Chain A
Amino acid sequence: MQLNIYSTIIYYKFQLMTTLNVNQKVYQVDVDPNMPLLWVIRDIIGLTGTKYGCGVAQCGACVVHLNGEAVRSCVTKVSRAEGQKIVTIEGLSANNDHPAQLAWQEIDVPQCGYCHSGQLMSAAVLLRDNPNPTDQDIDIAMSGNICRCGTYLRIRKAIHLAAEIQKNKTAVIS
């Protein structure tokens, strides 16, 4: 009888768990559906590459991909992300070899580095949607990502380089 009660409790507990697909791995998390996705990613799942900046979708440090779009995880409730495909900076590439990551290393973009997981996640969406971005395209895509160290010129340069790397990779593959 006791076993049945425990089984029932466990069953209902399981039903209340939130299922998240982060970097192609499935997680069952026991959290309030209103909790910001950022907290779940960092504090529950333990992926701390995504940063907290402003908490009100103004700076871009917390950008992750939700079904391929660069959402601000500090204002995204975990309920919006349930069952969706989430990618964080840790899952952007298997070997840190996304064209943007390679370009960032080559140009040595970061200064303090705090905002750059968000910068890279936004740049990756831009490069996917527009493989040959102009300076204006880069401004449109990246103006919402603030860098306190002022690395904007290096970010722009790195995105142009990433576009070249991406083009060459595509040429080699095809």
Chain B
Amino acid sequence: MKQEPQIKFHSRLPVKTMAVMIAVVSLITASLAFRATGDPTKGTGNNADKKDSVASAKAFLKVYKVLMSPRCMNCHPAGDAPLQGDDSHIHTMDVVRGPDGKGMYAAKCSNCHQPANVPGQHTPPGNPKWQLPPSDMKMVFQGKTARQLALQIMNYNMNGHKNKEQLIEHARDTLVKSAWNMGEGRVPPPMSYSAFVNVWDEWIKKGGYAPK
């Protein structure tokens, strides 16, 4: 009998406490949601997106192997002529980059490179966007160390003016993807496309750190 008022006493307090707690939790949830939509590149608090310099740099070393493969590097040359083949020799026909990266005069990229691969060994590979980076931002891969290349890609003024979100999207670009649709007689990049996208995302989401 003595316990009855105590029960009533306890049953009143939690109602107020719970109301306050619900309000606080709602505020925190709303705040987190706002942060997530306000800056998508900051992630959602997921552990996978947390900055981690060691894991990020380690992921880039895998990315680097792909970027330095002929399928990527041949269109990111140190000079103004594209490279060709698995040995990355200078493109025949003395073709040049041109101001927009699409060749010059009668030697434009799309004059030979069609929207799709031409059948046959070593015939021109194709993509509707086939081109080199433009001459005002050459985005050179050839000859770069892993650290130099990582710093270049993360530099907005050297990467084609891409923020982190756009960099992540860039791995999904059809021209990037076409490296794995290289045409007959060419070796593919050293890992699958899906594996590349995973390590690319991991590198950027964990901070885009450059290896030492």
Q: Is A123 a contact partner of B111 (Cβ separation < 8 A)?
A: no
The interface residues of chain A lying within 8 Å CB-to-CB of B15 are none
Dominant secondary structure at the A interface: mixed
Asked if A56 is at the interface (CB within 8 A of a chain B CB), the reply is yes
- Contacting residues of chain B (166-197) with chain A, CB-CB under 8 angstroms: none
The interface residues of chain A lying within 8 Å CB-to-CB of B105 are 70, 122, 125-126, 129-130, 137, 140-141
- Contacting residues of chain B (110-124) with chain A, CB-CB under 8 angstroms: 110-112, 114-115, 118, 120, 122-124
Q: How far is B109's CA from A69's CA once the two chains are assembled, in angstroms? A: 10
Stretch of A12-20, A38-46, A71-79, A90-98 lying at the B interface: A71-79
Interface string of A7-37 (1 = CB under 8 A from B): 0000000000000000000000000000000
The interface residues of chain B lying within 8 Å CB-to-CB of A143 are 93-95, 107
Q: How far is B105's CA from A69's CA once the two chains are assembled, in angstroms? A: 8
- Contacting residues of chain A (125-148) with chain B, CB-CB under 8 angstroms: 125-126, 129-130, 137, 139-145
Dominant secondary structure at the B interface: loop
How close is B114's CB to chain A, nearest CB, in angstroms?
6
Binding site for B on A (CB under 8 A): 56-58, 63, 69-72, 75-77, 80, 121-123, 125-126, 129-130, 137, 139-145
Q: How far is B104's CA from A126's CA once the two chains are assembled, in angstroms? A: 9
Q: A56-B124, A75-B124 are in contact. Are A80 and B115 (CB under 8 A)?
A: yes
Asked if B1 is at the interface (CB within 8 A of a chain A CB), the reply is no
Kindly identify which residue among B104, B118, B123 contacts A141, using a CB–CB cutoff of 8 Å.
B104
Q: How far is B184's CA from A56's CA once the two chains are assembled, in angstroms? A: 13
Kindly identify which residue among B96, B118, B122 contacts A140, using a CB–CB cutoff of 8 Å.
B96
